[in-house]
Amino acid sequence: MKALALAIAALSWAQTAHAHPHVFIDTGLELIFDAEHRATGVRITWSYDDLTSLQIITDKGLDPDFDGILTPEETTQLNGFDMHWDAGYPGDTYASSAGHPLLLSGPSDWSVAYNDAKIVSTHYRSFATPIEITQPLLVQVYDPTLYVSYALKLGTTLDNATGCTARTVLPDLDAARAKLDAAIAALPQDAEAAYPELGADFAEAMEVSCASTS
Residue range 3-50, pLDDT digits in tens? 454 444 444 333 444 457 899 999 999 999 999 999 999 999 999 999
- Contacts of residue 70, Cβ cutoff 8 Å, sequence gap at least 6: 57, 62, 63, 78, 114
Residue 65 covered by a domain: yes
pLDDT tens column, 97-115: 999 999 999 999 999 999 9
**What pLDDT is attached to residue 195?**
79
The answer to whether residue 143 is domain-embedded is yes
For the chain, the domain total comes to 1
**pLDDT for 193:** 67
β-pairing, 39-48 vs 156-159, is: unpaired
In a domain, 131, yes or no: yes
Give domain status of residue 194, yes or no: no
Q: What does each C-alpha distance from 45 to 7, 143, 157 come to in angstroms?
A: 17, 15, 12
pTM for the model = 0.88
| Residues contacting residue 24 through CB under 8 Å, at least 6 positions apart | 48, 49, 52, 148, 149, 151
The overall average pLDDT reported for the chain is: 89
104 DSSP 8-state letter: B
Domain ranges, residue 100: 5-12+21-171+204-210
Which among 176, 191, 178, 93 has a CA at the least distance from the CA of 142?
Answer: 93
In a domain, 197, yes or no: no
Task: Please report which residue ranges of 24-102 form alpha helices under DSSP H.
Answer: 50-59, 72-78
Classify residue 136: in a domain, yes or no. Answer: yes
Mean pLDDT along residues 120-126: 98
Q: Does residue 157 lie within any of the structural domains?
A: yes
Asked whether residue 44 is assigned to any structural domain, the reply reads: yes
Q: Which residues contact 178 (CB under 8 A, 6 or more apart)?
A: none
CA dist., res. 192 & res. 214, Å (int): 56
What percent of the chain clears pLDDT 90, i.e. is strictly above it? 77
User: What DSSP assignment string belongs to 175-208?
Assistant: HHHHHHHHHHHTS-SSS--PPP--HHHH--EEEE
